[in-house]
């Protein structure tokens, strides 16, 4: 098993060396060498994951006791399958996609090295190995995004990414230094054992070392996962090759969720930091989703969609649903990778025919011509209220008897409720020729998504965190004041109920709800179309910094 563990990151490195060495001899055929090595890597990661599913215990493999350690646990096993699987698909896609580009072999060398760095990152068992892999990912991404040397734009936005990643790297290095100083070891296993035995080692500014490290690790996760104020690099990095965009959005940008899960023993000792994760993730999810709707570029729209999903992933960590964030990471990676790899085909097909079927949804959204029948108001309102209550009771009965005591789960289900209510509101206004079929589809999708999400989250939690005491610690650390929790639940419920009452009032009186003045909507659209002026603020700060540097150089007679 030790040979398998070390072979997984070694194979892509060997592939990169052979690809570079044999490029002149094999020409374009050298790509299939890289594909073959990645296929073998993927097969080994599947073997490791199957072993863990069969009950194989976690294992530590290392050249020394303090650094160069690889950790083979359920988290590294499942992440290894995701990374190698998506990388294999990207490799196969790139064989033809990059065939006409210069530097063909160089592209596959960079892909192999990126895959190796990601595999080392998720399996790193010590802080030094983790930092090296974390840093190399940023460097390799810079070269992949700026692969086309004939244009200036890719290099500009690759530099944005590089600078943002360096902010996260500084925070990571500081967190590693604090943890090493507090617990006297680079090994993650030793550090986590020390935290369990003594979590109150003093740190900075009145906080413990664990709390200080948690804040810095959260900042590193924010930079890598494009959270609000550190997100601008993500939608503007679309000038790179499509395979790079697919790999980045399907794997690299998810590193924030992985980092929080890897350092879960740190975060469970810092409840306030978890609350901060929830707030930042919530803001990012909302802003990313709003900005996605105003884009006229497919890849940029997908970039903001990724931003919103990363916000939701960080928010899940903030409510203690660490394992659910990993499931979200996997599902989003597969989904978004597919979207990017098929974006070109969709654009090409849309130029000839939009391909939108002329059904009820098309008539409502495009032609603004509703069908004849409308679902009963009272039935739709009852569905909004009864379905989530049924889901809660089913989850309590099927999943866990203490389900209601886990605030994080309730919060996530309430967000599912809000999303489902929004869908039902839209469905009610849409009308349909077959009301029964429409209601059946709404009920089925709503129930399957929420119940499936709950059951899958529970299964992932048992797999990734089999210790019952640690699961309880995660939920208790993310809980907050009961009064505020009750207020949030009541306000959410009241808003949804009032929405239906307002709809009923307007229908009964034959009037539409009065819209806001057009000027307000135009101002709001201008705000989101300029992306909340974040890019303009950064551009202004850049000009101010350059002017200050110029004045300083003149004053010091350096220029």
* Domain region containing 57: 1-125
Look up tokens 């202004």; give the residue. Answer: 540
Query: Does residue 142 sit within a domain?
Result: no
Query: 541 and 405, same structural domain?
Result: no
Query: How many angstroms separate the CA atoms of 255 and 118, rounded?
Result: 9
Q: Are 281 and 316 in contact (CB under 8 A)?
A: yes
Query: 184 and 119, same structural domain?
Result: no
Query: Does residue 368 sit within a domain?
Result: yes
User: Which pLDDT value is given to residue 384?
Assistant: 63
* 347-356 long-range contacts, CB within 8 A, separation 24+: 347/298
* 3-class secondary-structure state, position 43: helix
Q: Are 384 and 424 in contact (CB under 8 A)?
A: yes
Tell me the three-class secondary structure of 298-331, residue by residue: HHHHHHHHHHHHHHHHHHHHHCCCHHHHHHHHHH
Query: 535 and 471, same structural domain?
Result: no
Alpha helices in 184-292 (DSSP H): 188-197, 209-224, 242-247, 255-262, 264-267, 271-292
User: Which pLDDT value is given to residue 137?
Assistant: 93
Higher pLDDT, 512 or 491: 491
HSE-CB at 88 with a 13 A cutoff on CA atoms is 17
Query: How many angstroms separate the CA atoms of 439 and 445, rounded?
Result: 10
Which tokens belong to 370? 């509703």
Q: What is the value of pTM for the model shown? A: 0.82
Query: 237 and 225, same structural domain?
Result: yes
Query: Does residue 61 sit within a domain?
Result: yes
Specify burial of residue 305 (Cβ count, 10 A radius: 0-12, 13-18, 19+). buried
Q: What distance separates the 2 farthest-apart alpha carbons in the chain? A: 80
User: Which pLDDT value is given to residue 48?
Assistant: 93
Query: 114 and 60, same structural domain?
Result: yes
Query: 334 and 436, same structural domain?
Result: no
Q: pLDDT-derived band of residue 219, with 50, 70 and 90 as boundaries?
A: very high
Please provide the average confidence, as pLDDT, over all residues in the chain.
80
CA–chain centroid gap for 237, Å, is 16
Q: Are 255 and 137 in contact (CB under 8 A)?
A: yes
Query: How many angstroms separate the CA atoms of 461 and 403, rounded?
Result: 14
Query: How many angstroms separate the CA atoms of 74 and 222, rounded?
Result: 24
Query: How many angstroms separate the CA atoms of 10 and 31, rounded?
Result: 18
Query: 211 and 344, same structural domain?
Result: yes
* 3-class secondary-structure state, position 539: helix
Q: pLDDT-derived band of residue 228, with 50, 70 and 90 as boundaries?
A: confident
Q: Are 450 and 394 in contact (CB under 8 A)?
A: no
Q: Are 478 and 400 in contact (CB under 8 A)?
A: no
Q: pLDDT-derived band of residue 404, with 50, 70 and 90 as boundaries?
A: very low
Residue 71: its H or E element: strand 69-72
Look up tokens 């530590």; give the residue. Answer: 60
Q: pLDDT above 70 covers what percent of the chain?
A: 74
Query: Does residue 140 sit within a domain?
Result: no
User: Which pLDDT value is given to residue 533?
Assistant: 84
Query: 502 and 522, same structural domain?
Result: no
Count structural domains, the chain.
Answer: 4
Of 109, 92, 101, 197, whose CA–CA distance to 154 is shortest? 101
Determine phi and psi for 149, rounding to 5 degrees: -80, -5
Q: Are 109 and 19 in contact (CB under 8 A)?
A: yes
Tell me the three-class secondary structure of 408-429, residue by residue: HHHHHHHHHHHHHHHHHHHHHH
Q: pLDDT above 90 covers what percent of the chain?
A: 28
Determine phi and psi for 202, rounding to 5 degrees: -65, 145
**What number of residues does the chain have?**
559
* 3-class secondary-structure state, position 199: coil
Which tokens belong to 353? 């025919």
Query: 498 and 534, same structural domain?
Result: no
Query: Does residue 154 sit within a domain?
Result: yes
Which range is least confidently modeled, 147-156, 174-183, 323-332?
147-156
User: Which pLDDT value is given to residue 381?
Assistant: 63
Q: Are 155 and 128 in contact (CB under 8 A)?
A: no
Residue 62 pairs with which residues in a beta bridge?
A: 69
Specify burial of residue 511 (Cβ count, 10 A radius: 0-12, 13-18, 19+). exposed
Q: Are 177 and 209 in contact (CB under 8 A)?
A: no
260 pLDDT higher than 80? yes
Specify burial of residue 482 (Cβ count, 10 A radius: 0-12, 13-18, 19+). exposed
Q: Which of 355, 370, 391 is the last residue of a domain?
A: 355
544-559 tens-digit pLDDT: 988 888 888 888 877 5
Query: 270 and 347, same structural domain?
Result: yes
Query: Does residue 284 sit within a domain?
Result: yes
Query: 171 and 314, same structural domain?
Result: yes
Higher pLDDT, 154 or 42: 42
24-50 tens-digit pLDDT: 888 888 899 999 999 999 999 999 999
Highest average pLDDT, of 7-16, 65-74, 273-282, 384-393, comes from 7-16
Query: Does residue 275 sit within a domain?
Result: yes
Query: 117 and 15, same structural domain?
Result: yes
User: Which pLDDT value is given to residue 479?
Assistant: 75
Q: Which of 73, 91, 125 is the last residue of a domain?
A: 125
412-471 tens-digit pLDDT: 666 665 555 555 655 555 555 556 666 676 667 666 666 666 677 778 888 988 888 888
Query: Does residue 361 sit within a domain?
Result: yes
Which tokens belong to 168? 């996260």
Higher pLDDT, 120 or 556: 120
Query: How many angstroms separate the CA atoms of 391 and 397, rounded?
Result: 10
Query: How many angstroms separate the CA atoms of 326 and 257, rounded?
Result: 7
Other beta carbons within 10 angstroms of residue 353's beta carbon come to 7
Specify burial of residue 478 (Cβ count, 10 A radius: 0-12, 13-18, 19+). buried
Q: Which of 306, 337, 355 is the last residue of a domain?
A: 355
């Amino acid at each position: 098993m030790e040979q398998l563990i070390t072979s997984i990151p070694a194979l892509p490195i060997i592939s990169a060396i052979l690809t570079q060495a044999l490029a002149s001899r094999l020409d374009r055929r050298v790509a299939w060498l890289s594909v073959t090595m990645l296929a073998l890597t993927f097969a080994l990661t599947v073997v490791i994951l199957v072993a863990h599913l069969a009950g194989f215990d976690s294992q530590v493999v290392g050249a020394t006791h303090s650094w160069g350690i690889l950790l083979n646990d359920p988290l590294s096993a499942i992440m290894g399958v995701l990374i190698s699987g998506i990388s294999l698909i990207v490799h196969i896609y790139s064989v033809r996609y990059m065939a006409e580009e210069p530097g063909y072999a160089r592209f596959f060398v960079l892909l192999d090295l990126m895959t190796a760095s990601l595999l080392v990152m998720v399996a790193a068992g010590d802080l030094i190995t983790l930092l090296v892999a974390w840093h190399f990912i940023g460097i390799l991404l810079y070269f992949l995004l700026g692969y086309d040397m004939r244009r200036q734009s890719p290099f500009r936005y690759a530099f944005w990414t590089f600078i943002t990643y360096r902010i996260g790297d500084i925070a990571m290095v500081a967190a590693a230094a604090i943890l090493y100083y507090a617990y006297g070891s680079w090994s993650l296993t030793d550090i986590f054992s020390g935290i369990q035995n003594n979590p109150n080692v003093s740190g900075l500014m009145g906080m413990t070392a664990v709390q200080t490290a948690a804040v810095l690790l959260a900042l590193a996760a924010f930079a890598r996962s494009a959270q609000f104020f550190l997100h601008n690099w993500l939608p503007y990095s679309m000038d790179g090759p499509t395979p790079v965009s697919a790999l980045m959005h399907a794997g690299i940008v998810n590193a924030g969720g992985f980092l929080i899960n890897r350092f879960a023993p740190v975060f469970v000792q810092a409840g306030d930091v978890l609350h901060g994760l929830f707030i930042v993730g919530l803001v990012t999810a909302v802003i990313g989703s709003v900005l996605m709707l105003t884009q006229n570029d497919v890849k940029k729209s997908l970039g903001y969609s990724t931003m919103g999903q990363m916000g939701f992933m960080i928010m899940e960590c903030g409510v203690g649903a660490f394992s659910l964030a990993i499931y979200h990471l996997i599902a989003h990676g597969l989904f978004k990778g597919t979207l990017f790899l098929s974006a070109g085909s969709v654009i090409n097909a849309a130029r000839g025919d939009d391909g939108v079927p002329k059904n009820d949804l098309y008539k409502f959204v495009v032609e603004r011509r509703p069908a004849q029948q409308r679902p009963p108001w009272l039935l739709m309102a009852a569905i909004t209220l009864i379905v989530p209550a049924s889901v809660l009771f089913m989850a309590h009965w099927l999943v866990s008897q203490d389900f209601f005591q886990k605030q994080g789960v309730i919060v996530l289900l309430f967000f599912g409720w809000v999303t489902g209510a929004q869908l039902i509101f839209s469905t009610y206004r849409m009308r349909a020729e077959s009301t029964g079929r429409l209601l059946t589809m709404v009920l089925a999708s709503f129930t399957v998504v929420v119940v499936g999400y709950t059951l899958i989250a529970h299964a992932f939690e048992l797999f990734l965190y089999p210790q019952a005491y640690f699961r309880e610690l995660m939920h208790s650390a993310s809980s907050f004041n009961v009064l505020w929790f009750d207020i949030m639940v009541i306000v959410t419920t009241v808003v949804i109920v009032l929405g239906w009452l307002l709809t009923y009032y307007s229908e009964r009186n034959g009037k539409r709800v009065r819209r806001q003045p057009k000027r307000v909507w135009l101002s709001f659209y201008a705000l989101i179309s300029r992306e909340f002026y974040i890019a303009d603020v950064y551009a202004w700060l850049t000009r101010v910094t350059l002017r200050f540097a110029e004045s300083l150089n003149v004053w010091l007679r350096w220029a």
